[in-house]
Amino acid sequence: MWDLLLTNGVIITVDGEHHLYDKGYIGVEGDTIAAIGPMEELGERTAARVIDCKGHAILPGLVDGHGHGGHCLIRTLGEHLDDGWEEMAETIYYRCTDPEFWRAEGALAAAERLKFGTTTAVSMVGSTPRVDSILPVQANLEGSVATGIRQLSGIGSPYGAFPKVARTYREDGSFEDTVVTPEMAYKTTEEAVRTLNGRHKRMMCIVAPGRMGRRPDESDEANIRHNREMHRIAETYDVPLHTHAYGGDVQFMMDHTPEVLTPRLSLTHSTGYSQQELEILARTGPYVFHGPTTHANAVGHCPVQEMLEMGIHLAVVTDGTAGDRSFDLWRDMKNVQLFQRFRKRDGTLLPCGKVLELVTIEPARALGLDHLIGSLEVGKRADIIAVNVMQPHLAPFVMPVQRLVYHAMGQDVDLVIVDGQIAMEGRTLTQISEEKVLEDAARAFEKMISRLNRPEVMQNDKLYELRQ
Ligand SMILES: [Zn+2]
């Protein structure tokens, strides 16, 4: 007898053969998919818990390859300020936070992602990582996994000018400032990856510097050392290397540290590359993590269609949450199609099945986890979501892949299973109190905003003008 059995669902496996069962079942034993197939093959087999998924589509849990720890408690703040959102975010993260902030935000972000059907989440902690201590990334990981999600959070050298000053608060509200150096970034990154892994089966600490390649605030020598160190730590502890990158960065890595360009490297945004850089990527195999809904994609250019045609590895990510976007990866599925079709004036590009792979098996591969997650197959982890399709915008439910990719949104997901454990049922999280997640988040927000002491970050009197 299995532990869990899902019956009567429309199952979209996203496996190599694109199996689809109009009326199928999935048997789960412990954390693993034990059997999957059409209902007529189920026979007498049953489970301790049986969930009838009639009126539901069943898919692999979505994999969001890039987001930021911290942003759920600063979203929309300061988007109208002249002195820049990035600077405000860095001030908040470096001067106004404590482990409770990172823990509460980690739980809030994971709750949002789970409720949109994301079962594996990647977060770079901070806008660009805070590196004076491992406590922010540790608290982010612990807060996240408490919700039931599979969480990969990372730190690495931040971008922007050094030295940075990090403020640590004591219990009595007093504080101490620490000058953060590049050396400290290497030391803290290695300490985090060494000590935080192996503690929990759904948690991984990865290497995630704010940028790799040629950071404009640093000398070539400093950038070469940075690229080497980040690569060395990722290799030593066998974890993914994940970062932001833009035009010129791939060429710089190729010229100075070609050893870092491997399929274990994922490069978020990847806007502004030269043709030569695209050819380097096609040859060496790093992943492009494309966020269609991001600010970077609005102001830059990532030639997704051309990249895919060249055989460049690519996944679609939210880069959430932020001023102007949520963690709803379903929206990114629509946007990546829309923007590529608009750009090329061709409504046939990026078919729905391909888009579904870009948010499941492709990011799983990029993270080195495709033997465990990213598709529904016997022997893989039971990371499964069910979408309620008995709703006006999805019924009658035919052509399942197109109906979901074109029409479903995050709120249509109503069952989420991670590692064989139910994390959400009937749109309510089951492993943590949602009320407590929201209360903790509100408390952490109040504390942070009083430390920041800049009321203008929440006041935008230009909101109804044509430009901010
Ligand atoms: Zn990002």
Backbone angles phi, psi at 179, to 5 degrees: -80, 125
CA of 324 to the centre of ligand 1 (A): 13
Same domain, 109 and 18: no
pLDDT of residue 74: 96
Pairing status of strand 150-155 against strand 203-207? parallel
CA of 314 to the centre of ligand 1 (A): 16
CA of 210 to the centre of ligand 1 (A): 8
CA 175 from centre of chain: 32
Same domain, 87 and 35: no
DSSP character at residue 428: E
Same domain, 149 and 263: yes
CA of 48 to the centre of ligand 1 (A): 42
CA of 136 to the centre of ligand 1 (A): 17
CA of 329 to the centre of ligand 1 (A): 14
pLDDT of residue 57: 98
Question: Which neighbouring-strand residues pair with 129?
Answer: 126
Q: Domain residues for 393?
A: 2-60+374-426
Pairing status of strand 32-38 against strand 20-29? antiparallel
Output the six-digit token pair for 199: 């503690």
CA of 119 to the centre of ligand 1 (A): 19
Task: State how far the Cα of 128 lies from the Cα of 452, in Å rounded to an integer.
Answer: 18
CA of 355 to the centre of ligand 1 (A): 20
Nearest by Cα to 125 from 113, 135, 140, 112 = 140
Q: How many CB atoms lie within 10 A of CB 167?
A: 16
CA of 277 to the centre of ligand 1 (A): 20
CA of 244 to the centre of ligand 1 (A): 6
CA of 254 to the centre of ligand 1 (A): 22
What 3-state DSSP class applies to 175? Answer: strand
- Burial label, 282 (beta-carbon count in 10 A; 0-12, 13-18, 19+): middle
Task: State how far the Cα of 371 lies from the Cα of 85, in Å rounded to an integer.
Answer: 39
186 found inside a domain? yes
CA of 30 to the centre of ligand 1 (A): 34
DSSP character at residue 61: P
Question: Which neighbouring-strand residues pair with 314?
Answer: 288
CA of 156 to the centre of ligand 1 (A): 13
Task: State how far the Cα of 59 lies from the Cα of 307, in Å rounded to an integer.
Answer: 26
Residue where a domain terminates, one of 328, 345, 366: 366
* Buried-state track 425-438, b at ≥16 Cβ within 10 A, e below 16: eeeebeebebeebe
CA of 66 to the centre of ligand 1 (A): 6
How many structural domains comprise the chain?
2
Same domain, 210 and 334: yes
Ion ligand 1 contact residues with beta carbon within 5 A: 319
CA of 428 to the centre of ligand 1 (A): 28
pLDDT of residue 217: 87
The vertex-69 CA angle with 88 and 179, nearest 5°, equals 55
188 found inside a domain? yes
CB 382 within 8 A of CB 4: yes
Same domain, 44 and 70: no
189 found inside a domain? yes
Residue 46 maps to which CATH number? 2.30.40.10
Residue where a domain terminates, one of 393, 410, 426: 426
What 3-state DSSP class applies to 249? Answer: helix
CA distances from 8 to 22, 109, 113, 391, 393 (A): 8, 31, 26, 17, 21
Helix (H) or strand (E) holding 33: strand 32-38
Same domain, 236 and 321: yes
458 found inside a domain? no
Nearest by Cα to 413 from 116, 118, 51 = 116
CB 26 within 8 A of CB 58: yes
Same domain, 212 and 266: yes
Same domain, 151 and 256: yes
Same domain, 225 and 311: yes
CB 119 within 8 A of CB 111: no
CA of 296 to the centre of ligand 1 (A): 9
232 found inside a domain? yes
What 3-state DSSP class applies to 123? Answer: strand
Same domain, 79 and 128: yes
Q: How many CB atoms lie within 10 A of CB 209?
A: 28
Q: pLDDT digit of tens for each residue in the chain (468 aa)?
A: 999 999 999 999 999 999 999 999 999 999 999 999 999 999 999 999 999 999 999 999 999 999 999 999 999 999 888 777 888 999 999 999 999 999 999 999 999 999 999 999 999 999 888 899 999 999 999 999 999 999 999 999 988 888 899 999 998 989 999 999 999 999 999 999 999 999 999 999 999 999 999 999 899 999 999 999 999 999 999 999 999 999 999 999 999 999 999 999 999 999 999 999 999 999 999 999 999 999 888 899 999 999 999 999 999 999 998 888 999 999 999 999 999 999 999 999 999 999 999 999 999 999 999 999 999 999 999 999 999 999 999 999 999 999 999 999 999 999 999 999 999 999 999 999 999 999 999 999 999 999 999 999 999 888 899 887
432 found inside a domain? no
CA 446 from centre of chain: 26
Task: State how far the Cα of 66 lies from the Cα of 320, in Å rounded to an integer.
Answer: 7
Same domain, 55 and 146: no
Same domain, 131 and 43: no
CA of 362 to the centre of ligand 1 (A): 18
CA of 211 to the centre of ligand 1 (A): 10
